[in-house]
Amino acid sequence: MGGTLITNPVIWADVPDPSVIRVGSVFYMVSTSMHSMPGCPIMKSVNLKNWEIVNYVFETLEDHDAHKLSDGKGIYGKGSWAPNLRCHDGTFYVCFSSLDMKRFYIYRTKDIENGPWERSVIDGVYHDPSLLFDEGRVYVIHGNGDIRITELTEDLTAVKPGGINGLLLVGEREGIGLRCEGCHAYRLNGYYYLFFIEWPKVGNKRRRQICYRSRNLLGPFERRVVLDDDMGYRNHGVAQGGIVDTPAGEWAAVLFQDHDAVGRVPCVVPVRWEDGWPVFGTDGKVPQSFELQLPDAAAGPLVISDEFDYSENRLALNWQWNHNPDNSLWSVTERPGWLRLATGSPARSVEYARNTLTQRTEGPACSGMTLMEFAHMKPGDRAGLVALQHFYGTVGIHVAEDGARYVAMCVRGEDGGEEVVEKIRYDGDSIHLKIDFDFRDSADLARFFYSADGGEWHAVGRPLQLKYTLDHFMGCRFGLFHYATRETGGYVDFDYFRYEKRG
């Protein structure tokens, strides 16, 4: 087998809190998806470098007002957090907590790429959990700072009555801002290993990876900082994740690094063992590139162009809805070759608009464009293309109360509604829209354009300074949207979404 050159980051897009396992010659990864539906994407690779989405754990997590964006708040920054992926006795498990539901979810399947998934729900938040299967028993290790262990029933459907349940270890406090969290637990070579992140408020003040180990399940534990490096990038530490071995017996860690507005990007770090401790990186640093004895193989793109040419009303896996969709109000079959978005309830801004269809953005730079037909919009309707974060920017068509149409660029206003930066009277029933993104060295700029013919482009509004904030806790996304501010029942058709990654 030849080697594969791993170059970091392996994905320059928002794939946070990675949890990776290997089954035979195949690696699988699950990551946080919060308010995006379907949720908990399952990604597949044969070399830890080229990943493609093959499934999701669930279509929707819950069915109530917040998840449907009908409570005026939504579940931004909540939903599914830090999922953990494990395989035991031929069954795959994904577990995570939801802060808005205050519940702990465990999903299981025999077929990770096709499902179906069966779920169990346990009351309470088990923060950043990791499952540990050990000698016929199963535990979840969880918490922030004070790390707890809770034994589950053999079928992972409930807390085991009379089982182990209590404080496992107390993380460092002195000089630490964010205490240890993000557990990944393993039993290897006679040791129990627990990996966490922590964020010191002294010294270099960046996130770092730590490891606790013990010969005994319940301790006592030894502690070591196993990685403290930012790859020379803005003091953003590479941390949070777990380890995995290769068929050739090599080891690697799959962690992430904050890359500001584009999100949290996965990195792969070589690992070797010394005196029973994992040693991350090369001389304590994350290499920009290194080789693993894994096959070189292409994978499908993370972000795709789409001509919306479907034979059934089911979208490509690259798409996710912002919150739960209303499936009665979108279609790719009603008008073949087009995505139709109809309005079903008024919203005060694109942030609270149902059925906004999203994909990730990617660095170093990228661009997305669409052609939209809008003859059937109603007065007060707004539709187009959005750079979706809390501080979003949109370009699209606004229909005034008198039926006049305008191309407009908007941003989030101080009151949470949309603030019009520029609008221009527009005649016609179709328009080409485009957003260009520049994430190089965290420039984090989005620029907005429109065209009547797809050839001559006009800038509109102003460049938007993108910001990664905890309001959404997610990297910036492309979104196709249509919402009503007055009366419902209008619709728009998108002919395509065309995507280009640059740099």
Q: What band does 318 get if pLDDT is binned at 50, 70 and 90? A: very high
- Residues 51-67 have a mean pLDDT of 97
Residue 185, helix vs strand vs coil? strand
DSSP assignment of 26-41 = EEEEE---BTEESEEE
| 280, β-bridge pairs | 271
Work out the burial of residue 22: count CB atoms within 10 Å of its CB; fewer than 13 is exposed, 13-18 middle, 19 or more buried: middle
State pTM to two decimals: 0.97
Work out the burial of residue 203: count CB atoms within 10 Å of its CB; fewer than 13 is exposed, 13-18 middle, 19 or more buried: exposed
Give domain limits for the chain.
4-19+80-287, 320-502
Quote the percentage of the chain above a pLDDT of 90: 97
For residue 85, pLDDT beyond 60: yes
Compute the mean pLDDT over every residue in the chain, rounded to the nearest whole number: 97
- Conformation bin of residue 210: beta by default, left when phi > 0, alpha when psi is -120 to 50: beta
Q: What band does 401 get if pLDDT is binned at 50, 70 and 90? A: very high
- Residues 189-195 have a mean pLDDT of 97
For residue 413, pLDDT beyond 70: yes
Q: What band does 2 get if pLDDT is binned at 50, 70 and 90? A: low
Report angle CA 101, 105, 109 to the nearest 5 degrees: 150
Q: CA-to-CA distance for 458 and 344, rounded, in angstroms?
A: 31
Q: Dump strand ranges (E) for 201-261.
A: 208-214, 222-227, 238-245, 251-258
pLDDT in the model for residue 287: 98
pLDDT in the model for residue 397: 98
Q: CA-to-CA distance for 58 and 115, rounded, in angstroms?
A: 10
For residue 1, pLDDT beyond 70: no
Q: What band does 299 get if pLDDT is binned at 50, 70 and 90? A: confident
The radius of gyration computed from the CA coordinates of the chain, to the nearest angstrom, equals 23
Work out the burial of residue 459: count CB atoms within 10 Å of its CB; fewer than 13 is exposed, 13-18 middle, 19 or more buried: middle
| 445, β-bridge pairs | 438, 465
Q: What band does 300 get if pLDDT is binned at 50, 70 and 90? A: confident
- Residues 493-503 have a mean pLDDT of 96
Residue 438, helix vs strand vs coil? strand
Q: What band does 62 get if pLDDT is binned at 50, 70 and 90? A: very high
Render pLDDT for 451-493 as a digit per residue (tens, 0 to 9): 999 999 999 999 999 999 999 999 999 999 999 999 999 999 9
For residue 183, pLDDT beyond 60: yes
Render pLDDT for 193-210 as a digit per residue (tens, 0 to 9): 999 999 999 999 999 999
Residue whose entry in the numeric block shows the structure tokens 């005994």 = 216
Identical topology for domains 4-19+80-287 and 320-502: no
CATH superfamily of domain region 4-19+80-287:
Glycosyl hydrolase domain; family 43 (2.115.10.20)
pLDDT in the model for residue 503: 83
- Its CATH architecture, for the domain 320-502, is Sandwich (2.60)
Render pLDDT for 105-142 as a digit per residue (tens, 0 to 9): 999 999 999 999 999 999 999 999 999 999 999 999 99
pLDDT in the model for residue 17: 97
Residue 271 vs residues 265, 298, 502: alpha-carbon distances, Å: 19, 24, 31
- Residues 414-437 have a mean pLDDT of 96
Q: What band does 415 get if pLDDT is binned at 50, 70 and 90? A: confident
The pair of structure tokens assigned to 105 is: 């979810």
Q: CA-to-CA distance for 184 and 195, rounded, in angstroms?
A: 5
Residue whose entry in the numeric block shows the structure tokens 């507005």 = 261
For residue 369, pLDDT beyond 90: yes
* C-beta atoms surrounding 403 within 10 Å: 9
Q: CA-to-CA distance for 31 and 47, rounded, in angstroms?
A: 18
